């Protein structure tokens, strides 16, 4: 239920004026992800988790794990804008959002 909301916000242009973002989702319990130690590497302690990346580095200080916030459209829109602004000077697409979801999300 989080992924469609995020996609709709990004597809509607939220964050574009601030530098833009891209989006991908990751199945946290996929065998290749588990073998790579992704949970430990990015300090994923709950599922779902919303995490942004810049220049290949996770921005863990702005990670979102609160389920109430993940379902709040206005909070997510502002989070997207904030993450886009963080690196907007690099041009569009400087920040990538990565949703880490368990099965059923």
Q: Where are the domains of the chain?
A: 2-101
Q: Could you report the per-residue pLDDT of 67-77, keeping only the tens digit for each? A: 889 999 999 99
pLDDT of 25 higher than 60: yes
Place of tokens 């697409």: 93
Q: Could you report the per-residue pLDDT of 29-67, keeping only the tens digit for each? A: 777 766 777 777 888 878 888 888 887 788 888 899 898
The percentage of residues in the chain with a pLDDT greater than 70, rounded to a whole number, is: 80
Identify the bridge partners of residue 99 per DSSP, sorted by sequence position: 25, 50
- Three-state SS at 87: coil
């Amino acid at each position: 239920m989080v992924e469609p909301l995020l996609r709709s916000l990004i597809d509607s242009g939220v964050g574009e004026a601030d530098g833009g973002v891209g989006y991908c989702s990751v199945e946290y319990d996929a065998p290749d992800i588990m073998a790579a130690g992704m949970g430990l590497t990015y300090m994923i302690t709950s599922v779902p988790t919303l995490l942004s990346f810049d220049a290949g580095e996770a921005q863990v200080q702005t990670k979102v794990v609160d389920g109430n916030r993940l379902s709040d459209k206005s909070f997510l829109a502002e989070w997207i804008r904030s993450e886009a602004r963080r690196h907007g000077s690099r041009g569009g697409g400087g920040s990538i959002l990565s949703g880490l979801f368990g099965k059923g999300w």
